[in-house]
Structure 1
Amino acid sequence: MVDPVQSDIHGDLPAAATKQGMVDRKELSAFAFQRTRMPIVVSDARQPDFPIVLANDAFLHLTGYTAEEVLGRNCRFLQGEATSKTAIAQIRAAVAQESETTIEILNYKKDGTPFWNQLHISPIVDEQGELAYYFASQIDMTEYRRVQTLEEAEHRLLLEVDHRTKNVLAIVDSIVRLSKSDNAASYAASVQQRVQALSRTHMLLAEHGWQEVELADIIRAQVQIFNSGGIEIEGPRVMISAPSAQPIGLALHELAANAAVHGSLSQRKGSLRISWIQTGSGLTLTWEERNGPPPKQELGGGFGKVLLAAVVEKQLGGKISRDWREHGLSLVIELPSLDRVGHRLQERP
């Protein structure tokens, strides 16, 4: 019977011609294996530790090794310090089960350069159905992963910018709605001052990579523009997360502006002490004005008080307690959970 595969190629050629054709096919197969652009190796499954017996030019070019350095070795020489133990275990299991597998694994070239390898392993059996070799192809996924990572980072950045923009615009919207004045110029000035306060905290966050910023730095940014000599700031190191930093900064601006216009910072000998402590899982901030005039107005005639309440109570879920003393305002802001305003409170070194 004529082999149907051979018949397709040779028809009814003589046996000698058919034999020559088989030789040619083997040579062509070897040539194709060697010249294919996909890196390929073949390991002998009948020898201990499955040594490599064939490696094409593409594999040598990818890894930087010579044929002499590759042949006779197990493929694990491509593994390195950061190669995933889980990926190695998956490969080991596939080999033990004599099954195919495809996995991305971090490998290393001869010069130590890491690369992401999409490795495909497939068993090859002989005529008796016994495992004889393992075929392994490699695809360098490093550039693809780099582009994918950049795209994912860009996507996350756009989402973060969108979130931050919405957060800032919500605060600006509150400023515009809650700032009131019968005089257009006065109204414009009050809005501008509050937006500038927002900007000061915004700059702090930008300097710290939009991760978190110290509470003490937020306080200084908002109060020291009015008076730096008579202000005392004291408390443990508290890191405030980005979403909460701007509303806290705006609240402190309202208090500082009121103190500068109506309170202790409006007096030459006036002083201000701002302190905070941890209270359970939350934070308590105390604002104490001293040597100020007798209280006449509370937070700029009322709308400052409304804005402060909106920021502290509605946005941050906190509570405000006021005590109008003869020589200045004593105010306590209680924030119920550090998770709402930050995530770390540390003692100062």
Structure 2
Amino acid sequence: MSTRRKLASVIDDQDALAGFSRVRVSMILTDPRAEDNPIVYVNSAFERTTGYARSAVIGRNCRFLQGEETDKRDVDRLRNAVEADRDVTVDIINYRADGTPFLNRLIIAPISDADGQVIYFLGIQKEIYDSEREEDAADTLVLNVRARVQEDLGLVIDSLGDHDVETQIDQEAITRRLECLQLVYESMMLSDNQARTDRGIDLGSLISRVATGVAHEEGRSGIRYVQQIEPVVVNVDAAVRVSILVSEVLSNAFSHAFERMEEGFVELRMSKLAAGGLRITVTDDGVGLPRNVPFPNPDTAGGRLIGLLTDGLEATITPVRGAAGTVVMIDVPFGITET
């Protein structure tokens, strides 16, 4: 079994987080176990940089970005690195959807599960301008972003269980969690103290954005959503873990609480406790948790991820089965707050 570094060891690298908001750092994920190593995820920066819509690239090999001026030696370096399951950095000529070329600093890195099996390749891309060709700063930025995403994604991958050629990971599940991570990174770097303070991260602002995104993507007509979130300043490690945890629990409520129901209600509350730490509650008036199913359910990817995040925060999670619906209460200890 491989040992992953603690999230805080890379989260504290603010240069990596800044890279998502200061510059256009594109992120892609490919699946080497599928035929022709197709793209399974791209972020919005990729769409902006290349001009290709996400729907136009999912399922294709990255070679469509190559063109007449692309150096075959660069292509060979990329292919050889993928075949050998190793990192590689290449400055390569790629082409936008409108046919214009651009110089792309591309880092390819394997993403392994807990058993060391490579199940994805992460691509971090940044357009390089003439003034940046010889600058170490641009290369350092992309490397830092790679490390940041590689570690966070590793946590998510570990929660998805055993992986083999016959059992492919749910790409939709990976995409949703990557979108949450992207939102976390961007929120952390908002200017004018909207998401950061001199003492740490304003988790209230961050959770508001993450939760609103989940409600928009997972909600439907007839399901009302409200949130009441107090400002709570926490350390960076906790900000990432709590954000993903809230995303998982809230998504679970929207996805499973209202089966065969036309209307419903979901509420998110987060408040700072008098003794320190914070309490998060997700309430719904849906069908309720089945009596014979634990929460979080270790037999599901979402349940395992909730368990990993809860353990990492040394938090407690308590589901309450009401006459109608469910209340999930999460208490996170005072150690996550900044002093």
State TM-score, norm by structure 1.
0.45
> Which structure has the higher relative contact order (CA within 8 Å, separation 6+)?
2
- In terms of fraction of residues, the more helix-rich structure is 1
